[in-house]
Amino acid sequence: MSKPTHGALEAELKLRDEFFSTVAHELRNPLNALHLTLAGLVRAQSGPSPMGPDQVVARINRASTQVLRLSKLVDDMLDVSRISSGRFQLQNEEFDAVAVLRDVIERMKDQAEPDQILLTMPPSLILHGDRVRFAQVVSNLLSNAIQYGERKPIGIHLRADADRVRLSVIDRGIGIAAEDQERIFERFEKLGKESPNVRFGLGLWIAREVIGAMHGNVSVSSELGKGSTFTVELPKESVMAPSA
Q: If the chain, 244 residues long, is cut into consecutive pieces of 10 residues, what is the mean pLDDT of each piece?
A: 70 70 70 83 84 86 77 70 70 89 90 89 88 90 91 94 89 90 76 46 82 90 93 74 38
CATH of the domain at 150: 3.30.565.10
Query: What local confidence, expressed as pLDDT, does residue 238 receive?
Result: 56
CA distance 76 to 78: 5
> Does residue 117 sit in the same domain as residue 75?
no
Domain range for 212? 93-240
> Are residues 48 and 42 in contact, defined by beta-carbon separation less than 8 angstroms?
no
> Does residue 145 sit in the same domain as residue 228?
yes
How many domains does the chain divide into? 2
> Does residue 100 sit in the same domain as residue 210?
yes
Q: Report the phi/psi class of residue 38: left, alpha or beta, with left for phi > 0 and alpha for psi in -120 to 50.
A: alpha
How many other CB atoms are there within 10 angstroms of residue 144's CB atom? 22
Query: What local confidence, expressed as pLDDT, does residue 198 receive?
Result: 44
CA distance 183 to 217: 15
**The domain boundary residue, chosen from 27, 52, 84:** 84
How many other CB atoms are there within 10 angstroms of residue 5's CB atom? 9
Query: What local confidence, expressed as pLDDT, does residue 22 receive?
Result: 65
CA distance 55 to 73: 28
Residue 1 lies in a domain: no
Query: What local confidence, expressed as pLDDT, does residue 2 receive?
Result: 56
Query: What local confidence, expressed as pLDDT, does residue 218 receive?
Result: 94
CA distance 186 to 236: 27
Query: What local confidence, expressed as pLDDT, does residue 90 receive?
Result: 77
pTM of the model: 0.70
> Are residues 236 and 228 in contact, defined by beta-carbon separation less than 8 angstroms?
no
> Does residue 102 sit in the same domain as residue 197?
yes
> Does residue 100 sit in the same domain as residue 45?
no
> Does residue 116 sit in the same domain as residue 225?
yes
> Does residue 129 sit in the same domain as residue 80?
no
How many other CB atoms are there within 10 angstroms of residue 20's CB atom? 11
Kindly tell me the sign of the dihedral angle through the C-alpha atoms of 142, 148, 151, 157: negative
> Does residue 141 sit in the same domain as residue 171?
yes
Residue 44 lies in a domain: yes
